Amino acid sequence: MRSRRISVIATTALLTMALWPGLAVAHGLAGKRFFPSTLTIDDPFVSDELSLPTFLLFKTPSDGEAPSSKTANISGEFSKRIFPNLGLTLAGEWNNLDPAPNDRTESGFGNLEMTLKYQFFTSPAHETILSAAFGWEAGGTGRKKAGAESFDVFKPALLFGKGMGDLPDALAYLKPFAVTGIVEGVLPSRSGNKTYTLNDDGDLEVEIEKNPNVFHWGFAVMYSLPYLQSFVKDVGLPAIIRQLIPLVEIDINNPLDRGFAGKTTGTVNPGIIWAGKYFQLGLEAVVPINERTGKVVGVRGQIHFFLDDIFPNTIGKPLFRW
């Protein structure tokens, strides 16, 4: 009886030792570094999290016959870990275009999007995360008049996150810096859309709208006050201030072909994130980099929930472990 009890204790201890390094981490952590979920650039980590809502108010410029339009976008994103390093994200959005290309105010859902992401490298010592992702925007699942395309779009991507905590101690105040980023292909399944209309003379006119392949890239540079306070120097910040992470996100689209090559668009998005225990709040200005992108500064905001902290034993953990 005694030997059996010792055996059970030994087995439990071995299991504990074996599982110890693999206990739940997630949540955008690499060593000491907590990467917040950024508002504009996709995150380099897999997680159990919910962004709901993210809102965007922006004014797009006129383009050919299409008028300038005030766009209100509300979106949600649910990320779920299937395995500890493999996650699935489902995203949806609702748009209001004032006016839409048909000169009327139109609103409705955009296309649904699904992304599979594999976090294939994590270095706690160097606060580094690397991931590969493949996104699929399902054409025709949203309302066309509200801007949803009728074709699929595929989005292979590489993502990275790097904290500066491995800098020498002489540069201690730079350690709270971190950068995350993405390089992504945006590949439409159809090279162009044909629209048939009858002109005033009753003749059939064919209009072809081309859909270019796009090289999308971007990065976020952030300075973590929680990191400063907990790992570098307790400078006595008030509780609400020491949970802030100021950041700037750069988001660029480079069309590559089909008559759009060189017509770069993008935004610079300075803002701030407040990270709490169970959720974070973010707010950014959306500054167009050129007149092709827009002429007026927009605004983006987000409420983001950490499901792994709110529901650690149910939906907040991977579906499967090995």
Partner 1 sequence: MMGLHAMLVAAALLLGAGAAWGHAFLDRAEPRVGSTVKSPPSQIRAWFTQDLEPAFSTLEVTNQRGERVDQGPAKVPASSPALLQVPLKPLSPGTYRVKWRVLSVDTHVTEGDFTFRVEGGP
Find the part of the chain contacting partner 1 (CB under 8 A) among 28-36, 70-78, 193-201, 217-225.
Answer: 28-36
Amino acid sitting at position 213: N
Neighbours of 47 (CB within 10 A): 25
**Single residue of 29, 112, 281, 299 touching partner 1 by CB under 8 A:** 29
**Single residue of 47, 60, 122, 229 touching partner 1 by CB under 8 A:** 229
Residue pair 189/237 in contact by the 8 Å Cβ criterion: no
Three-state DSSP state, 127: coil
Q: Tell me which residues in 160-189 interact with partner 1 (CB under 8 A).
A: 169, 172
In whole angstroms, what is the distance from residue 115 CA to residue 135 CA?
4
Contact between 309 and partner 1 by CB under 8 A: the answer reads yes
Find the part of the chain contacting partner 1 (CB under 8 A) among 23-31, 112-120, 156-164, 204-212.
Answer: 23-31
Contact between 85 and partner 1 by CB under 8 A: the answer reads no
Q: Which is nearer to partner 1, 142 or 163 (CB)?
A: 163
**Single residue of 11, 15, 120, 233 touching partner 1 by CB under 8 A:** 233
Task: Spell out, one character per residue from 258 to 277, where the chain touches partner 1: x when CB under 8 A holds, - when not.
Answer: -------------------x
Backbone angles phi, psi at 189, to 5 degrees: -80, -10
Contact between 230 and partner 1 by CB under 8 A: the answer reads yes
Q: Which is nearer to partner 1, 101 or 312 (CB)?
A: 312
Contact between 76 and partner 1 by CB under 8 A: the answer reads no
Q: How far is the CB of 225 from partner 1 (least distance, A)?
A: 12
Q: Tell me which residues in 122-141 interact with partner 1 (CB under 8 A).
A: 124
Q: DSSP string spanning 245-314?
A: EEEEEEEEEEE-STT-TT--EEEEEEEEEEE-SSEEEEEEEEEESSTTT-SS-EEEEEEEEEHHHHSTTT
In whole angstroms, what is the distance from residue 51 CA to residue 303 CA?
6
**Single residue of 231, 256, 258, 299 touching partner 1 by CB under 8 A:** 231
Contact between 321 and partner 1 by CB under 8 A: the answer reads no
Sequence-ordered list of residues with C-beta below 8 angstroms from that of 158, at least 6 positions apart, any chain: 130, 131, 132, 133, 182, 183, 184
Find the part of the chain contacting partner 1 (CB under 8 A) among 147-155, 191-199, 200-208, 232-240.
Answer: 232-240
Kindly report the CA angle at 98 between 94 and 104, in degrees rounded to 5?
105
Farthest-apart Cα atoms in the chain, separation:
99
The length of the chain, given as a count of residues: 322
Contact between 198 and partner 1 by CB under 8 A: the answer reads no
Query: Which spans of this chain sit near partner 1 (rule: CB under 8 A)?
Result: 20, 23-25, 27, 29, 31-32, 34, 124, 169, 172, 226, 229-234, 277-279, 305-306, 308-313
